[in-house]
Amino acid sequence: AQTVTQSQPEMSVQEAETVTLSCTYDTSENNYYLFWYKQPPSRQMILVIRQEAYKQQNATENRFSVNFQKAAKSFSLKISDSQLGDTAMYFCAFISSPFSSGSARQLTFGSGTQLTVLP
């Protein structure tokens, strides 16, 4: 079974600074996908960024980037130029690659990191 661990329950960062949220996972699979989701106080779950395990290049989406270390099974999220609107709970999630259609894709979530951006 896959597990996802987020060891930082809470973090804070000053506005405009950079912060890195850590995530490690455990799997015996070779092909899989990793995601970071953001859940602001409104509780809506929003996809931030995704990474395919077979791609060595780290994914980037504007101010959000990841450091994907497949051998170490690490998938950290870096937020540059932090903004007040980045305050949210951030969840790391893992899903294995399906080999046939018709199978549901089951996400395994970490326990989350509450990020607070300070003015």
Partner 1 sequence: SQTIHQWPATLVQPVGSPLSLECTVEGTSNPNLYWYRQAAGRGLQLLFYSVGIGQISSEVPQNLSASRPQDRQFILSSKKLLLSDSGFYLCAWSAQSLSNQPQHFGDGTRLSIL
Q: How far is the CB of 13 from partner 1 (least distance, A)?
A: 20
Smaller CB distance to partner 1: residue 101 or 119? 101
Segment holding 35, helix H or strand E:
strand 32-39
Residues that bind partner 1 in the complex, under the rule CB under 8 A: 33, 35, 37, 42-47, 50, 52, 91, 97-98, 101-107, 109-112
> Given the complex with partner 1, which of 14 and 30 has the nearer CB atom?
30
DSSP per-residue string spanning 53-119: TT--SPPEETTEEEEEETTTTEEEEEE-S--GGG-EEEEEEEEEPPSSTT-----EE---EEEEEE-
Least distance (Å) between residue 39 CB and partner 1: 8
State the nearest-atom distance from the C-beta of 16 to partner 1, in Å. Answer: 28
